[in-house]
Chains A and B, each alone.
Chain A
Amino acid sequence: MIATMKNLVKRYGDTMALDHLDLNVVQGEILGLLGPNGAGKTTAIRSLAGLIPVDSGDIQVFGKKQHINNIDIKREMGLVTQEITVFSDLSARENLRYFGQIYGLKGADLESNVDRVLAFVGLTEHAKKRPKKFSGGMQRRLNIGCALVHRPKLLIMDEPTVGIDPQSRNHILESVKKIAEEGTTVIYTTHYMEEVQAICSRIAIMDTGRVIAEGSLEELVGRIQHEDTIRMIALTPSDALTDEIRAISGVKSVAVNGNNYCIVSGADSGNLNRIMEIAMRHGGIGNISADKATLEDVFLTLTGRSLRDGEEGA
């Protein structure tokens, strides 16, 4: 474990921001912290980063007890804020250089890391420009770059893709994968389930200050998904086709309406392929699809609410 949070409690007045939160971060993983706005994600990562005190509980990072201003831990940690927090009055290079310097880099080491990060975030050609002349996506990339200059062991990214175009989002998601491949552990908070599905090796779903479920995408989906619903349009529907599908092991029901077949089968039974083979033998298929559960369904099942419900900050 690179970090552990045990039984964390944090209150803001009457609001319980963290409600006995337990969360472990495994070295080398991309941990997706998923939850709606107000779930406590930001409070959790600020506590982990030693930025705010908790009312009770224990936080260990790199095997050391975390507290406010633990410089040893901060040196090895990077934080990408949700908002653009680079200096608009300094150039991209000056921004990276400053953040490198306050993390203790100097001389040739500093310059080589600045060059490395400029290349990594694709801003080498814009190094002398000020961020206010950048597009939103470029500003986001610089925002991420500033947290990478000192080569952190643990990178915390707080909703780093808020308000940007899909192309820039994809670029950032690819970058996060590369960061993890280079050995940095990443905690990635978001309320976009597509992002965690795309990049995270493990997912913790938060709601009302607690982790309500965690595991890999497959594990989480598997918890709620016991059946697949296969929808098919058969070109030549027949009783023989229906009977043959019904006879497949794991098929629970077959409903036929004209050319439309709705087949309920056990999850991950591999019956989609079998049904396709049979239908091809019986005249062919117009269309076929299998409805799979998503993280959205997981969240909905666990909380009764949608991930995007509410837009208040955490």
Chain B
Amino acid sequence: MTTTIRHYFKRIATHPLNLLVFILLPVAISVINNEVLNVVIDDAGAGGIIDMSVQYAIVSAIIMVMFAFFGLSLIYDLLYDDFKSARRWRLLASPASLGKFIASNAVASTVVSLVSSALIFLANAIIYDAYVPNLWAFGLIIFVFTIFVQIMGMLLFLLIPKKGTAEAATHAIVWSTTILAGNMFGTINLGTALNFVFQRATPNALATNAIFNLIIENDISQAMIYTGFIGIYVIAAAVIVAIVARRRPF
């Protein structure tokens, strides 16, 4: 198993596009956003009044959740390359099982996604002194959300025949939920029901709200309730993946 995990980790972690999209870009965007935040706060004359370390942490968290969500493509990228091409015959002709390849890929992409999140926070903690009251709870929220994203990525792989279509679907899902949750251009009023869905009920809204509760309110209980709801999404997604995988073996 370690051989196949190392194999997938190497291919994911050394791919130039992955390094750009999941390491350099989110770190740069979060740093730029916090720099903009500094200017805005200074212009408003609010420096010294607002706890900036909390504000920095909030900005970092929003970027972190968004890029963790883009981690959908991390899991399916190599699955498409390896198992929706002739290479699958070569891999399946080996004594290693299909489950071993998929599990190894999932472990590797989860690790890369978590490292991406950790680096975003670390960069902002070092540069801006971004502060989170409970790192373990913070880490748990990101971990559970990342697991959900990886299972969701697997589902996209099972349901969508072509990688290009899956990538388009990923962009549609991530951008729409992030924008409609109000995390990009401010709150958008879509009516009570849709406001609830996009600001409270989507997995990324739950993750963002859990982090806000942790950072702003220092309310671990509420943060864990939100995390629990993400956990329900994890279980539901896992069940759906199991059902789809049985009906549509690839």
Binding site for B on A (CB under 8 A): 46, 49-51, 69, 71, 74-75, 77-79, 81-83, 85, 87, 89-90, 98-99, 101-104, 146-147
Contact = CB atoms under 8 A, between A and B. Distances in A.
A74 B15 contact: no
Nearest to B2: A101
B162 interface: no
Interface in B56-115: 85-87, 89-97
Contacts of B92: 51
Contact of B11 (A71, A89, A104): A89
A89 B18 CA distance: 13
A256 to B, nearest CB: 57
Interface of B: 3-4, 7, 10-11, 14-15, 85-87, 89-97
A75 B95 contact: yes
Contacts of B90: 79, 81, 85, 146-147
B89 A103 contact: no
B11 A87 contact: yes
Contacts of A77: 93
Most B CB contacts (10 A, CB to CB) among A49, A79, A87, A102 go to: A102
Nearest to A77: B93
A85 B87 contact: yes
B97 A103 contact: no
A69 B97 contact: yes
A96 to B, nearest CB: 13
A102 B14 contact: no
A78 B152 CA distance: 34
Contacts of B95: 71, 74-75, 102-104
A49 B93 contact: yes
A81 B86 contact: yes
B94 A51 contact: no
A171 to B, nearest CB: 21
Contacts of A51: 89, 92-93
Contact of B86 (A83, A98, A99, A104): A83
23 contacts: A49-B89, A49-B93, A51-B93, A71-B95, A74-B94, A77-B93, A78-B93, A79-B90, A81-B86, A81-B89, A82-B86, A83-B85, A83-B86, A85-B89, A87-B11, A89-B15, A90-B10, A90-B11, A98-B3, A99-B94, A101-B3, A102-B94, A103-B95
B85 A85 contact: yes
Nearest to A89: B11
Contacts of A79: 89-90, 93
Contacts of A69: 97
A90 B96 CA distance: 19
A78 B93 CA distance: 7
A251 to B, nearest CB: 53
A103 to B, nearest CB: 6
Contact of B7 (A75, A82, A98): A98
Contacts of A50: 93
Nearest to B96: A102
B181 to A, nearest CB: 35
Contacts of B15: 89
Contacts of A83: 85-87
Given A82-B86, A98-B3, A74 B11 contact: no
A89 B94 contact: no
A116 B40 CA distance: 65
Contacts of B14: 89
What 7 pairs between A and B have smallest CB-CB spacing?
A83-B86, A79-B93, A85-B87, A85-B90, A101-B3, A71-B95, A102-B96
B86 A85 contact: yes
Contacts of B93: 49-51, 74, 77-79
